Amino acid sequence: MAKKGGAWDKLLTEIIPEWKKGLGIEFSDVKTDQQHYQYVWVENRYGTWSMIAVMSCPHASQLRERVRGMEPSMVFVDELTSCPSLEYFQSVAAQLGRRPFVRGIQQYIGACNPEGPSHWVHHQWFVEPYDEETDTWDPDFVEMFFPREENEGCLHPGYFAGLKKIYKGDATESSRMEEGLWIDRPSGEAIFSDIYNTAVHVRPLDDAGHPDHRECLQPDPKHAMVLGIDPGSVFFAFSFQQYLFLDGKWKWVIFDEITVTRKRVIYPMLIPIAMARIRWWRELVHSEMPQVWISDASAFNQYRAANGSFDVLDIERVYDANRKKFNLETVKIKSCPAFNGSRVARVRLGQQILSEDAIVVSSRCVHHHRMFLNLTGTKAKAGEQIDPEKLLTPKRSDHLHIWDACSYPWLMASLNPTALVPSSTREQTLIQSAA
């Protein structure tokens, strides 16, 4: 959608003049067609000319008719999240590839600041391309994230300082505009947002009561570390935890995390990262803390055709191949039961742990923090009877995998506490059952 000062203005006043200055590319004056669309001719690499045109269409109902007959080889949509519907993708992208003999890649490119996971743009780029059955990602959909550090040189020196003041009281908009996060505003459907309290559940905090990312919680060297794992080929999460007696009660302490979201990272790359993290923590606290790895039962029967193996077997094989390098002991991943209703059981357990203040999250575990604020249940469809169990079933999102990794140890501890005791050191007391 064309806006004054947007992509079209930058193209005419900054980009094309740089092309001419640096590459000697010629271009025409701005012209206007019969529909009052502005366009310009630009010399291309093939010795011919390309037309770049701008079109504004604030009403989705008009878009399909306006683009009918057009045959672009590239489309750039500025401020895509301000476009109200999927029509702005489907109608325009459907015109790509119509013109024969076009050399090079034909692309639909959208630029935007993030909204929330419920927005159609997030669904189209970050949900639809993922095939849950095959655990594969459609390579035609690509995300390019430009962090704040790369953008600072293009903006006024005081821009981000101004944003911080503007969004001081709006945590959602601050996360979107300053950190580039896709975050919905908390709603009544959020599972934990009403009982998760940063001031209570996160440590350490700075003087203003916000998570202090300069510091972090450290594990107790005298206790085992428990790693909750949710494996996958494009989504993967590790949750590093301990169960400790703090402030007069037993608490789960989440002190570290490793997450992969919408990126294909093979196990031979990822597992050594986790192993290096374990070695780093042991050396930091000067203790060979025992380790317990726990994953969902589905990881024991999820066959990956690409690797010719099951998740757990493949992970253990990679771990064993790198064990001597990191001076680690053998590990066998334990299976957390996955029974009918186990997802809801883990959510209820999480609600209980949070409401009883039986958890502490390290300030550096930002993915856990966002998950507790934004994990939502599955909504009932229009006219459908509300099912309380369904509302407690987390819907698919970027937060689901870190939640699963985080909650597997909790369910395991509630069903069989001794299963969390390291196999080689069963004399240790890791879990204390209620009398």
For the record, the structure tokens of 212 come out as: 């202090």
165 domain-assigned:
no
pLDDT of residue 425: 44
Whether the per-residue pLDDT at 387 is higher than 90: the answer is: no
Mean pLDDT, range 55-81, rounded to an integer: 86
Spatial contact of 3 and 79, defined as CB atoms under 8 Å apart: yes
Specify the pLDDT at position 426: 39
Residue 301 lies in a domain: yes
Task: Provide mean pLDDT across the span 43-65.
Answer: 85
Same domain, 262 and 348: yes
Residue 16 near residue 42 (C-beta atoms within 8 A): yes
Task: Tell me the pLDDT tens digit for each residue of 47-56.
Answer: 889 999 998 8
For the ranges 33-37, 275-279, 299-303, the lowest mean pLDDT is seen at 299-303
Regarding whether 405 and 282 lie in a shared domain, the answer is: yes
**% of the chain with per-residue pLDDT over 70:** 90
One domain for residues 103 and 248: no
Range with the lowest mean pLDDT among 57-61, 158-162, 270-274?
Answer: 57-61
Residues 220, 128, single domain; the answer is no
Q: Using one digit for the tens of pLDDT, what is the confidence trace for 222-266? A: 999 999 999 987 889 999 999 999 989 999 999 999 999 888 888
Domain boundary among 113, 137, 161: 137
Tell me the mean pLDDT in the region 89-101: 89
Neighbouring C-alpha atoms within 13 Å toward the C-beta of 163: 17
Mean pLDDT (the chain, rounded): 86
Do 204 and 127 fall into the same domain?
no
Q: Is residue 167 part of a domain?
A: no
Cβ 173 vs Cβ 182: under 8 Å: no
Number of compact structural domains in the chain: 2
- Do 409 and 275 share a structural domain? yes
pLDDT for 383: 62
Say yes or no: 251 and 348 in one domain. yes
Reply yes or no on whether the pLDDT at 79 is more than 70: yes
Q: Which of 117, 137, 157 is the last residue of a domain?
A: 137
| Model pLDDT, residue 145 | 86
Looking at residue 432, what is its pLDDT? 38
Classify residue 143: in a domain, yes or no: no
Please give the Cα distance from 365 to 256 (Å, whole number).
6
User: What pLDDT is recorded for position 384?
Assistant: 65
My answer on whether 248 and 110 are in the same domain is: no
Tell me: do 21 and 132 sit in the same domain: yes
Closest Cα partner for 197 from 71, 388, 360, 310?
Answer: 360
104/205 same-domain check? no
Domain containing 60: what range? Answer: 7-137
Rounded to whole angstroms, the Cα distance separating 91 from 66 reads 9
In SS3 terms, the chain reads as CCCCCCHHHHHHHHHHHHHHHHHCCCECCCEECCCCCEEEEEECCCCCEEEEECCCCCCHHHHHHHHCCCCCCEEEECCHHHCCCCHHHHHHHCCCCCCCCCCCCCEEEECCCCCCCCCHHHHHHHHCCEECCCCEECCCCCCCCCCHHHHHHHCCCCHHHHHHHHCCCCHHHHHHHHHCCCCCCCCCCECCCCCCCHHHHEECECCCCCECCCCCCCCCCCCCEEEEEECCCCEEEEEEEEEEEECCEEEEEEEEEEEEECCCCCHHHHHHHHHHHHHHHHHHHCCCCCEEEEEEHHHHCCEECCCCEEHHHHHHHHHHHHHHHHCCCCCCCEEECCCCCHHHHHHHHHHHHHHCCCEEEECCCHHHHHHHHHCEECCCCCCCCCCHHHHCCECCCCCHHHHHHHHHHHHHHHHCHHHHCCHHHCCCCCCCCCC
Rounded distance between C-alpha atoms, residue 303 and residue 95, angstroms: 39
Same domain for 126 and 273, yes or no, is no
Q: What is the pLDDT of residue 428?
A: 40
What pLDDT, on the 0 to 100 scale, is given for residue 186? 60
Q: Give tens-digit pLDDT for 166-225.
A: 877 677 788 788 888 888 766 557 889 888 988 899 999 888 777 888 889 999 999 999
pLDDT confidence of residue 63 = 85
CA distances in angstroms from 149 to 111, 113, 161, 237, listed in the order given: 17, 15, 13, 26
For residue 383, is it within any domain? no
Q: Could you say which of 137, 156, 182 is where a domain stops? A: 137
Q: For residue 1, what pLDDT is reported?
A: 44
Q: What pLDDT is recorded for position 430?
A: 43
What does pTM read for this prediction?
0.62
The answer to whether position 160 is within a domain reads: no
d(CA 330, CA 349): 30
Position 431 confidence tier, pLDDT thresholds 50, 70, 90: very low
Q: Is residue 169 part of a domain?
A: no
- Given a cut of 80, whether residue 4 has pLDDT beyond it is no
209 and 68 within one domain: no
CB 272 within 8 A of CB 318: yes
Q: Using one digit for the tens of pLDDT, what is the confidence trace for 167-178?
A: 776 777 887 888
pLDDT band at 286 (very low <50, low <70, confident <90, very high): very high
At 380, list the tokens.
């009932």
CATH number (domain holding residue 297): 3.30.420.240
- Assigned domain for 189 exists: no
